[in-house]
Amino acid sequence: MSVLLRPRPASWPWAWRNGLFLANAVAFLLCFAGMVVAGWRVSSSDAVLHGQAAVSLWEFLTSGDFAEATFENWESEFLQMGSYVVLTTFLFQKGSSESKPLDDDAPQDADPREHTRDPRVPWPVRRGGLALVLYENSLLLLFAVLFLGSVVGHVIGGAAAYNEEQVEHGAAVVSGWQYLGTSQFWFESMQNWQSEFLVITVMVVATVWLRQRGSSQSKPVAAPHTETGA
């Protein structure tokens, strides 16, 4: 049987063994740096057009506009992944590599309490009790904390940017709590949320019929369309 050639695991260097993380981390840093530079130039140009002094990089990084733009996007990403983690625990999609099998037991559903004596399992499994309850839901908890933290950042930054415009137009400023009730906040949020759920929807359905050889996100190329799970 022909397979994609790759080095034996024992000979993999650290970077190769962690390549998926490294590639995404580098892509994030490059894109984030690009966003900072481009946003700074836009902010400075806008200030000059209004007869003001050009904005310094530090002024831009501490501005409401930068915080709002950053956390608004992070918020939607963490919402997407957190909700997907939850939905895939009890919902299925026939034929999709993104779904647990319909007619077989999934290893993700196994009760970890049956492995408390296995020395290889993570320590919360061996300890049991509250530590295990938190650990078996830790992925969801992580995304929930990151999502809520991003919402807070979005509210703080968005309210600051919103109030700048309010002052320029002689209108009253609002608190962060009041900003949560504005159409501006929900427009900023929903325009990102809808795109995140669109991507997930496409991914779930597309993996029923389409393949990518070598990808963990795809079923084997020769797998029947009705086969569920990667």
pLDDT averages per 10-residue partition of the chain, 230 residues: 57 88 97 97 92 94 96 96 94 90 86 89 92 95 98 97 92 95 96 95 93 90 84
How far apart are the two ends of the chain, measured CA to CA in Å?
19
Dist. CA 218–CA 230, nearest whole Å = 6
CB within 8 Å of 192: residues ≥ 6 apart? 72, 73, 75, 76
Q: Which pLDDT score, from 0 to 100, does residue 109 have?
A: 84
* DSSP code at position 215: -
Dist. CA 124–CA 113, nearest whole Å = 10
Which candidate, 98, 46, 112, 116, places its Cα nearest to that of 204? Answer: 98
Q: Which pLDDT score, from 0 to 100, does residue 166 have?
A: 94
Dist. CA 75–CA 198, nearest whole Å = 16
Q: Which pLDDT score, from 0 to 100, does residue 3 have?
A: 53
Dist. CA 111–CA 105, nearest whole Å = 12
**Can you read off the two tokens belonging to residue 33?**
């740096």
pTM as predicted: 0.89
Dist. CA 226–CA 204, nearest whole Å = 13
CB atoms within 10 A of CB 207: 23
Q: Which pLDDT score, from 0 to 100, does residue 64 have?
A: 96
Q: What is the largest CA-CA distance in the chain?
A: 72
Amino acid at the residue 153: G
Q: Which pLDDT score, from 0 to 100, does residue 1 have?
A: 43
The answer to whether 54 and 48 are in contact (CB under 8 A) is yes
